Amino acid sequence: MSVLSPAVNHWTALLNFIMQTYFIDSHATCILWHHDFPFELQTPANGEFIQYINIWPDNLSQSLQQDIYNFTAFAETQLAHGVQPDALVQKLAIAIRESHCETFVAFQEDILSFARSFYNASRISVWRSLRNKFLFAYRKDLQQDTTAYFDDFLFMDQPNVLIVEAECGNCSTFALKTNKFIGPLAEHPEQLYVLDRYNGADGKFELGVDLYMDKVQNLQGREVTVGVFDYRPFAVVDYERQPQIKDHSPENLRGMAHVDGTEVRMLLALCEVVNCTVNADTSQDDWGTSYANLTADGIFGLVTSRKSHYAVGALYFWPDDYRYLDMSLFIGRSGVTCLVPSPHRLTSWLLPLRPFQLTLWLGVFACLGVEALALFFTRHLAPSDTEPQYGLMESFQFGYITTLKLFVSQGSDYVVNSHTVRMVLFACYMMDTIVTSVYGGGLSAILTLPTLEEASDSVERLYRHGIPWTATSPDWVISLKGADDDPIVEKLLQRYHVYTYEQLTEFAKTENMGFILERLAFGHFGNVDFLTDESFKRLKLMIDDIYYQYCYAFVPRLWALLPKLNDVIMQVHSTGLDIFWEWEVAATYMDGQQQEEIQASMYMDFDVGPVKLDMGNFIGLVLPLIIGSVFSIIAFIGELVYYKYTQKKAQAVIDVN
């Protein structure tokens, strides 16, 4: 190891200048120290504190045991997830998670080991930053061929890379390089070029350019791949429509596809701003899942494996996926609702009782009781010169029988001469005539307008009626599992089932269950492929959402274009373009009549037209006849039994005498 004289140690001056100029706003700087680069960290002239995390790559195993952090427990946790990180990955992961390192420094052969460990370390750490910067330094006298140092996708994907190159340890001239980053991938954006030169003798830069320039402003046609499947109107994939873009799916032999949609257009708008080229990968047909061992399937697997940079398709905030990927700002809003069976026309034995509510019926019966009592007392107590004094039983029979006959508009064969009784009878007749007329009007209205049973068209009624609900993926209820302490949510989750599109299409025609739809922010509906004309005749839309979520784009961790994408998203929302996009995509790629029928199904159409009469139309009306006949038979039998009993008793008396 060559010893550097403090007087000629230009590394210290240069590296401290870079770190104090460009790393000053970082939460922390992680330095992988190297014994051949004994530069000294210096406090900035303004005295502002900079936090540094020191890692010695040549002593990692021993330092893990001596570190104040419990790396043993951390390694056991990762091993339980199916991940076995090496010592450097563990060190970097904890430095990022606990100290929030955003800037990194590495030297010589540690450059390659850092680049290969950094991506997984950042995913394991969970904490993430959009301001990562990298500073790498090496000497040619220690390694002539340094090509292998930069043979990692970090130098292809990260724009904020600065490399300090010197011929020897005591040299005073330095070449400052960076990766090209811009341009098509075929032109190797990972290639390095000289950005500036530094002369340590006089402490001056040759060009004085920004060492961490913004390379994302103009990508000069660099490709950005969207992982997508056909899920309208969020994402549209069509192999016949024009224009078409390059498709990386191995199943698409032509290698071209038309891609559009409300969420895909956000990426198209981004590429208009930063001059990138959109490619597609349509090899997956589902959202997929991210796993703790840093793998994934579906379109999440495309992002994890770096086959795509942008995944959309009504993706909600799913914590398991967010843990290992990055998300944009919200692109739109989607409410999860259901099409439920339409209510049937109500036929009930209780039809004669429905014109009045319970309280009104109680009032009617109370009125009848008062009438019966009034007739009873006036019959028994009212004086009359032409009528005898009636007993209690005779007066009671007169009271309740006359009351019932007046209530059903029937005449009475009782002879009444008392003016008092006549006045009470007249008052009862007037009251019963009004009640009967009101009842007849209410019954006519019920028979004229169809009465429907209660539909399961709200969350509370869906829960109370206990009908199952279904869709094609368990992902639909991931957002509800965080609220499973709610008894309603718990029951709804128990009744949720997963079926294929083919099964849903058949069930929608016959089964008593709910079928999930997505209600977009501006009135359109997604996930409608299983609906047919036959299913529309028996389904109606819920009046509210079971739950709603904001939709996001999932991108790789540390994606360089994410800040620009977030800026574009906010500009689109502020200008109202998202409203126009939803209406245009729905009109272009979806069945407008179907969308209108879904919306209209929320409101019942009472114009059912002429229907064939059946027992259900008058079954409630024969209820009084049936009840009366049954009680009449019972009374007749009772009278026969009583008559036989009295006859036998009279005969016994005669025999005794």
DSSP string, 430-464: HHHHHHHHHHHHHHHHHHHSPPBPPP--SHHHHHH
Between the two ends of the chain, the Cα-to-Cα distance in Å is 147
Q: Which residue has the tokens 């967010």?
A: 322
**Considering only CA atoms, which of 420, 412, 406 is closest in space to residue 378?**
420
Tell me the two tokens of residue 416.
Answer: 């009444």
* Beta-ladder partners of 104: 30, 134
Retrieve residue 339's tokens: 């099409």
Distance, CA of 67 to chain centre? 42
Alpha helices (runs of H) in 453-591, residue ranges in sequence order: 459-465, 487-494, 501-510, 533-536, 562-575, 577-589
323 near 83, Cβ under 8 Å? no
Strands of 192-199's sheet, edge to edge?
52-55, 28-32, 101-107, 133-139, 161-166, 173-179, 192-199, 204-205
- H or E element that contains 242: none
pTM for the predicted model, two decimal places? 0.80
Neighbours of 269 (CB within 10 A): 16
Other residues' Cβ atoms within 10 Å of the Cβ of residue 298: 22
User: Taking Cα atoms as reference points, which of 12, 7, 8 lies closest to residue 37?
Assistant: 12
Residues in the chain: 657
112 to 97, 181, 382, 476: CA distances (angstroms):
22, 18, 117, 42
CA dist 159 and 216 (Å) reads 8
For residue 106, give Cα distances in angstroms to 15, 18, 88, 483: 11, 14, 12, 45
Q: How far is CA 579 from the centre of its chain?
A: 20
Are the CB atoms for 627 and 621 separated by under 8 Å?
A: no
- Is residue 539 within a helix (H) or strand (E), and if so which, with residue range? strand 539-541
Is 228 in contact with 280 (CB distance < 8 Å)?
yes
At how many degrees (to 10) do helices 577-589 and 562-575 cross? 90
- Report the sign of the C-alpha dihedral through residues 522, 471, 301, 132, in that order: positive
DSSP state of 353: G
Q: Distance (Å, rounded) from C-alpha 269 to C-alpha 275?
A: 10
Separation between Cα atoms, residue 85 and residue 72, nearest integer Å: 12
Residues of the chain with pLDDT under 50: 1-8
134: CB partners within 8 A, 6+ apart: 103, 104, 106, 154, 158, 160, 161, 162
Separation between Cα atoms, residue 36 and residue 25, nearest integer Å: 28
The answer to whether 164 and 146 are in contact (CB under 8 A) is: no
Parallel, antiparallel or unpaired: strands 547-555 and 332-341 = antiparallel
CA atoms within 13 A on the CB side of 353: 12
Torsion angles phi and psi, residue 199, rounded to 5: -105, 110
State both tokens at 249.
């799916």
* Residues 17 and 88: beta-carbon distance below 8 Å: no
Which run of H or of E encompasses 127?
A: none
Give me the torsion for CA of 319, 325, 331, 334, rounded to 10°: -30
Q: Give the C-alpha separation, 416 to 405, whole Å.
A: 15
Neighbours of 79 (CB within 10 A): 11
548, β-bridge pairs: 335
Residue in the structure block whose two tokens are 């590394």: 11
Give how far Cα 654 sits from Cα of 642, 650, 657, Å: 18, 6, 5
pLDDT of residue 3: 39
pLDDT score of 32: 93
DSSP designation for 55:
E
How confident is the model at residue 4, as a pLDDT? Answer: 40
Token pair recorded at residue 606: 């009472």
Q: How far apart are CA 271 and CA 301, in angstroms?
A: 23
Beta bridge partners of 237: 259
pLDDT reported for residue 171: 86
Give me the helices (H) in 239-384, please. Answer: 264-274, 298-304, 319-322, 358-381
Exposure string (b/e) for 452-464, b if CB count within 10 Å is 16 or more?
eeebbbbbeebbe
Distance CA 539, CA 515 (A): 9
Please tell us whether the domain made up of 355-448 is placed in CATH 1.10.287.
yes
State the pLDDT at residue 400.
Answer: 77
d(CA 271, CA 277): 6
Instruction: Copy the structure tokens of residue 286.
Output: 């589902």
